[in-house]
Every structure is written in C-alpha cells, then in structure tokens.
Structure 1
Amino acid sequence: MNANPALETETLAEHWSDRPYHRHWLLQRADDLFDFFEADIINPKGGFFELNLDGTVPGKTNPVRGIHVTCRMIHCFAIAHLLGRPGAMAIVEHGMDFLWNRHRDTEHGGYFWQVDDNGPVDASKQGYGHAFVLLAASSARAVGHPLADAMLADITDVINTRFWDEAHGAIAEEFERDWSAKDGGNYRGQNCNMHLTEALMAAFEATGDQAYLSKAERIADLLIRRKSAELNWRVPEHFDTGWTVDQAYDGDQMFRPSGSTPGHWLEWARLVLQLWTLGGKTHDWMPEAAKGLFFQAMALGWDRDNGGFVYTIGWDNIVSRPFKLWWPMAEGAGAAHFLNQHQPSDFHEDSYRRIWGTISRHFLDRKNGGWHQQLSQTMQPEAELFPTRDDIYHALQACLIPLFPADGSVLEMIRTNGDRP
C-alpha cells in the first residue's frame, strides 16, 4: 500500500458539488436509500426492523432493537420530512413513541441499550446510545414533534448528571441499569464522545442554548486539540479514567477495536469544522486540525492498491484490519466537502471525487439497493460485522451534505436552506 496521498491530479477549478448533474446524482442516491428502507423497516410491535442484505424483513418474531438504530431512523426521517418526502413524519412518530415508551427506563432514568417486545434485553446505560437519544430529540424538535421538548429535557439531564465528567470535559462510557459501575468503570472511549459532539451541536442548533455548544467544544479540545495532536493527528480510541491513552486496548470489533480507526479521523475532520463555524470561527486550531486529520486518513488509511479506507491501523501505522466498511467512505465524502468549502484545494477536491468514485463502483448495491456495508480488502462484499442493514445514517448524510452550505448540521442546513437542491 502506497501511503503517499499526494496523488497526481488535474487542476480542479470547479467543485463537483457545484455541478448540477452531480447534485442531481447525489439526491437520487439519497432517494435510493429512503426507498430501500422505507417500505419494510417499521415493526408493527414497535421500533424498526434491521433488514436482510436484500432488503427483506428477517424472519425473527421478536427481534432485538438497539437504541442507536431507533435514534438514527428518527434523525434520518426528520431530514426526509424537512426535504418534503411524503410519509416521513409517520416514521419519526413511530420511532419517537418507541424511544420514549420502550427504551426509556422509568424506574432508574436513562435509556436501555437494547430492548425487544418484552422489555430490556441489555439494560445497560451506554454513552454512545445516549448521544444518539440527544440527536434524535434535537432532530424531532426541528420538525415539531410533540414529545421532543420533554425528551430533550430528559436526555440533557441524564447526560449532565450521570455521564458528564466536568473535570475532564467529556463523558463516561457506560453504567449498569441502576447507574452502578459497569465492568469496573475504568474505560473511557472517544467514539461515544465523538457522537455526543455531533448531538450537542444539533441540540445547540435546535435550542440556541450555549451550554450544548460549550460541552462540544470541551470534548473536541480534549480529544482532538490535545490527544490527537500529540499523535500527529491520529485519533486515539481508548483511555483510562484519567484520559491517558491505552494503546494496548482490544475490545469489541464493531465498537471498540484495537488500534486507531481512520474513519473516525474523517468524521472528526467534518465535525471540527462544523464546530468551528457554529462557534463563530473563534478557535483557530480547528481548521488546521481538520486538515491534518483528513490528510492522515488519506495518507495512512486509503488503500492505494484496491481503493477504500481500511478499518483499523496499529500504532506502528501498519494496517491491522484491511477490510472496508461503508461508513468511513461516507464520512470521507462529508469531510472532503467541508474542507473544500473552508480550505479549498486540489487535494481535497481530488479526494472528494476519488471517494465518490469508489463508492459508486464498489459500495452501491445495484442489485438489491442501498449500500454494501462491508467489503473485503479486495473490494468484494462481505457480511462479517454487519449481517443485516440497520440504518441509513452515515450514507444518507454523505449524499446530502454536499448539497448545502458547510455551516452546520445537514438537518439545520436543510431547515434554513430548504430550496437549495
């Protein structure tokens, strides 16, 4: 694998995101995603189905519903409603009812990680899941859902009183149902804090409450300005309770793999620029951080031989998991667009085109619809980590972000620039 990102490129005076054909193509891909999921995702007993790879409903009579899937569907179909997609609000309403009445723990507070028809299957309280509750509540408020204010107040209180660590400016990872320590309580992770940063910005956009934005800035300061900068813009994933990096940690391959994940470098590159714009462009370190994160992801994470971003890299910069997932591609497209808007360069534009070209050739499932969620090192479809297709969150935002100004979340940009596409 050639790690040099300085690819030969023409002089790219015009951004693809400004071209009418490309914009139409992106909107079509967003419609394809809505079409793939919309018909069969609603479980009549509550929540949403995780679909088979061909888009059909699995045969399970009592499937487990994860909170992040519930919340992401609410968020995505709130976006669809703002775009003017008929029927989208009914999906938001279905998700909000399930989130409020089935995921919420009315005895101890907070929200269950997994539930089925009979109640909690995994009653733990996960920072990752609670971040997405905040995102869902904020998105629901943007479309005027009647439960949104109550849920926003509830989840804000839970985050502030249970998860937030004021001394370090970030949240704890997880608790048991009764808020006792889970697995000793000694682990801290960047992934839940990254998604909380996104959700805090959404809550700020929905309410104007500066406290949300301040928390987002503190998380970014800890994880990016300090921790990632110390590692030459590689994002560390795993920490102890004092926020010292644990480079030897190896946990769940989906949520806590060892090493570092270039997809998260890309995600942070976009989020940092979004945070910079929402904060009035007062933090001078943020644009350079975004540029460095994206450059390193292309330099170390892009497979020059086969295409796509590898899943994980060891701290020796050697690829440790060479298969490719769809979400780093989606985050790479969004990050490249944000960088093109705020720090335009041929490298960012070429990367944007290269990423979308690879998505089009390899990740779009032209037989069944939707996107392939996992490909092998040589870009063949696999389903090791993702035997089902559970949501459209990453892919949908990638399709829509380039259609709107890079000044905030895609939902807020649609709300304030609804006629732009």
Structure 2
Amino acid sequence: MTWSEEPAHTTLLAEEHDRLLDFGASALVHPAGGAAWLDDRGGADLGRGVLTWITCRMVHVHSLAALTGRTGSAELARQLLDGLAGPLRDTGHGGWFHRLDADGRPDLAAGKSCYDHAFVLLATSSAAVAGIDGAEALLAAAGDVFLERFWDDDAGRCRDHFSADWTGLDPYRGLNGSMHAVEAMLAVADATGDDAWRRRAARVAGLVVDLAASYDGRLPEHFDSDWTPLLDHNEDRPADPFKPYGATVGHGLEWSRLLLTLEAALPGNDDRLLPTARLLFERAVGDGWDVDGAPGFVYTTDWSGRPVVRDRMHWVVAEALAAAAALSRRTGEELYDHWFARWWQYAEDHLVDRDAGSWHHQLDERNHPAAGVWPGKPDLYHAVQATLLPRLPLAPTITRAIADGALA
C-alpha cells in the first residue's frame, strides 16, 4: 500500500482538496466574464483583468469538484465556461484571446498562444465529462482551432505563438506550451474517445525522451523554428514566469508524471517512457531539492545544475508530489513513497496557508512568502491536482478517472 492509499492519508488529501476549493469561491467570477485573479486572501484582484489560462484552470478544477459531488462547483464551472464561450473567445478571427483588461477589452497585442489554447482544451474536455452545459460544442471548436493553428503534423510538435489575427507566426517554439498540450490531448482523448489525440501526445513525448537523453535529464525549454535548443534564451530575465532561463526543475517533475500517464494510456507505445520518467525525476530532485541551505525546490538551474533562481514555487512541490505518487504506483518502490511523505510535510510546514487559505504561491530561498514572480494566489490548479492524482490510477486522465468512480 502506497502512502496516498493508506486510509488516514486518503482522508488527509480529501480534506485538503475540500479546503482548497473554499478559497475564493465567492469572488471567483470576474464582472467582465471568466475568472478573476485571486489575491492572498481569496479576494478578486479585478485590476488584473481576466486571463484565459486562469479561467481554464478554474473551469477544470470546478469540473473535477463537480464530479466529486461538491455543492456549487458545477454552477461555478458553468459561469466560468460562459467566459470562454463569450468575451474571451475571438468570434472574428477564431480562437481565444490571451487576456481581457479590467473593463473587458481584449489584449490584442498579446496574440494567441499554444499555452492558452492547450488550457482551453483541458477546460472544455473536463467540463464536457462533468456534463456542464455548452462544453461539448466548445470542446469541438477548441479542437478544430488547435489542430488548424497549433498542431504541426509534419513535425509532430506544436507551434507556439501567433499574432491575434493569425497572420504572424512567431519562430519561437517552446516546451512549456507543448507540455500542457500533451496533458490536454490526453484529456481530450478520454473525453471524446478519439485515440488520434493520444498518438499526437506520444509524438511530442518522443521529443522529450530524446531531449532528456541528450541533456542528462535537464530539459531545454526554448527553441527556434527548427526546434534547435536556445540554451541562453532569457538569460537576462531568469525569473520569467513562463519562459525562464535554464532548466525548470518543476517541469522535469511534471513531464515525469505525464510520461507515465501516456505509457498507461498507450501500452507498448514506447519502452523508453518509464526510464525517462525516472531520469527526469532523479535529475530534478538532485539539482533542485534542498540544495542551498534550506528545504524546498529551487525554481531553475543552469545547464550544469547550479541554482539560478532560488525562490520556491508552490506548483513545483505540487508536481513533485504527483510525480512521486505516479512513480510509486508504477514501480511499487518505497523510495517514491519516502519522497511523497517528505514533500507533503514540506507543503504542510511552508506552503499550506491555514490562516488565509490556499497555498502560498511563492516563497523566497528561506521559505518566507514572496511575490516577485507570482503575486497573490491566482488559481488552484496545481494544488488541487496534488490532492487528487495520488488517489487515482495512472490512466485514464484525472477527469475521466473521477467520472468513472476511480477516486480513492
């Protein structure tokens, strides 16, 4: 029996899941439509406007909660989905805007990204499985946009960014958007039964397997249009929240878990997935955990494994927990249970905010709350999934598994 399967620990995870969902519920819907950015105490920071990816994450979270039977979550998911169907959707050119300002005007200068559209796929697939009105039609539309604009079938990879009217394609290619695209494609496959989405996800994963082998488990994140790594990208902006310089420790952990989900979803597809998942996990732990005089994961390292940004992000711990649980379930090895227990205690000691709610999104290198990269507590996606994934099988993906009654 793994740590998360023990009755007392299952109860602990379930209680934390419910506590998290209390955070910001009454302030979540922005007057302009979609989700408000939540501040440190769960109030709406209306001046930040509405971001598509935040809205999508909260549609996903409350669709999951609706499937667990939580009162009020289905209605919250529906209201947030209305934002995706309405003001966040570009009815002129197609696709979804990145952001609305505080008055509800779209930010055209931000263009359209794979990252945002991957989350639209995730949100609409989860809402469809949860039976939220309008979700199936929105999922079909999101799938069409993604395949037309972001999926490069010749390369088996994702394009990253266009201008708002789709006339300009940025030469930059990125692993962050691709990672969330893999998560979303697996979810769409489970929502629709269309196995082609899993095969697309497997093609992107093949790139990650190759990169992990070539760079000793430190994944390059940034590439040119030919997918040549840009190892010095943003060296002058190392703490960028989406495109930081160097290797992002948390993404190694996130990919570790996703590769195991893919392996379970497509048995026999690639016998390199488990070894790569192990490598990514071991490299992230070796480079990132407790390496600078205080517990916690550093945000990024250089290509030799030296810390660059030492602040601790809550999402990294959440992904570490999910990866440890996945490897424990896949291998049966007690090592991963050890790590899970240690990181859950770290979360309890430093991240879980019993006073104001949710988890602190960022800590400094001495584990004091900070806000240089992530002010406030804008969403619940990573923390909520950390309370659910350890209680689920590796496949199907989280929403379908809960709908099928697999949640412990």
Coarse TM-score class (shorter-chain normalised): over 0.9
2:246 to 259, 265, 281: 259
Distance, in Å, in 1 between the alignment partners of 2:48 and 2:243 is 24
Residue 236 (structure 2) pairs with residue 248 (structure 1)? no
Which deviates the most, 121-130 or 260-269? 121-130
The alpha carbon displacement at 1:354 in A equals 1.2
Distance, in Å, in 2 between the alignment partners of 1:271 and 1:154 is 25
- Which residue in 2 is equivalent to 1:108? 93
Contact 1:64–1:121 (Cα < 8 Å) also in 2? no
- Which residue in 2 is equivalent to 1:71? 56
Distance, in Å, in 2 between the alignment partners of 1:147 and 1:282 is 34
Equivalent residues in 2 for 1:391-406, closer than 5 Å? 391-406=379-394
Residue 232 (structure 2) pairs with residue 232 (structure 1)? no
Contact 1:164–1:171 (Cα < 8 Å) also in 2? yes
Identity %: 37
The alpha carbon displacement at 1:395 in A equals 0.4
- Deviations 1:302-331, CA, capped at 9 Å, x for gaps: 124311111000012111001100001000
The alpha carbon displacement at 1:50 in A equals 1.3
Secondary structure in 1 matching 2:388: helix
Secondary structure in 2 matching 1:321: coil
Residue 348 (structure 2) pairs with residue 360 (structure 1)? yes
- Which residue in 2 is equivalent to 1:277? 264
- Deviations 1:254-300, CA, capped at 9 Å, x for gaps: 00010010100000000000000011243211111111111111111
Amino acid paired to 1:210: D
Amino acid paired to 1:15: T
- In structure 2, the gaps of 5 or more residues are none
The alpha carbon displacement at 1:180 in A equals 2.1
- Which residue in 1 is equivalent to 2:404? 416
- Which residue in 2 is equivalent to 1:11? none
Equivalent residues in 2 for 1:89-104, closer than 5 Å? 89-104=74-89
The alpha carbon displacement at 1:17 in A equals 1.1
Contact 1:17–1:23 (Cα < 8 Å) also in 2? yes
Residue 72 (structure 2) pairs with residue 87 (structure 1)? yes
Contact 2:32–2:104 (Cα < 8 Å) also in 1? no
Which deviates the most, 281-290 or 133-142? 281-290
Distance, in Å, in 2 between the alignment partners of 1:147 and 1:328 is 33
The alpha carbon displacement at 1:346 in A equals 2.6
- Which residue in 2 is equivalent to 1:216? 201
Contact 2:218–2:303 (Cα < 8 Å) also in 1? no
- Which residue in 2 is equivalent to 1:196? 181
1:374 to 362, 379, 383: 362
Distance, in Å, in 1 between the alignment partners of 2:314 and 2:48 is 24
1:142 to 129, 132, 145: 129
- Deviations 1:365-392, CA, capped at 9 Å, x for gaps: 1221110000111111111111121110
- Which residue in 2 is equivalent to 1:180? 167
Name the TM-score, length of structure 1 as normaliser: 0.92
Distance, in Å, in 1 between the alignment partners of 2:264 and 2:39 is 39
- Which residue in 1 is equivalent to 2:313? 325
| Structure 1 moving runs of 4+ over 4 Å | none
Equivalent residues in 2 for 1:39-50, closer than 5 Å? 39-50=26-37
Residue 39 (structure 2) pairs with residue 52 (structure 1)? yes
- Which residue in 2 is equivalent to 1:288? 275
- Name the CA shift for 1:285/1:261 in 2 (closer, same or farther; >3 Å): same
2:287 to 300, 309, 312: 300
Distance, in Å, in 2 between the alignment partners of 1:332 and 1:197 is 18
Distance, in Å, in 2 between the alignment partners of 1:52 and 1:140 is 25
The alpha carbon displacement at 1:15 in A equals 2.2
Contact 2:32–2:50 (Cα < 8 Å) also in 1? no
Secondary structure in 2 matching 1:39: helix
Distance, in Å, in 1 between the alignment partners of 2:74 and 2:27 is 16
The alpha carbon displacement at 1:57 in A equals 2.9
The alpha carbon displacement at 1:160 in A equals 1.2
- Aligned residues, how many? 402
Distance, in Å, in 2 between the alignment partners of 1:20 and 1:135 is 30
- Deviations 1:211-246, CA, capped at 9 Å, x for gaps: 111110011011x12122111121110011111111
- Which residue in 1 is equivalent to 2:334? 346
- Name the CA shift for 1:118/1:346 in 2 (closer, same or farther; >3 Å): closer
The alpha carbon displacement at 1:340 in A equals 0.2
Secondary structure in 1 matching 2:300: strand
Secondary structure in 2 matching 1:320: coil
The alpha carbon displacement at 1:349 in A equals 1.4
The alpha carbon displacement at 1:121 in A equals 2.0
Residue 21 (structure 2) pairs with residue 34 (structure 1)? yes
Amino acid paired to 1:291: R
Amino acid paired to 2:389: I
1:157 to 129, 144, 150: 144
Amino acid paired to 2:174: G
Amino acid paired to 2:354: R
Amino acid paired to 1:401: L
Residue 113 (structure 2) pairs with residue 126 (structure 1)? yes
Secondary structure in 1 matching 2:299: strand
Distance, in Å, in 2 between the alignment partners of 1:95 and 1:283 is 38
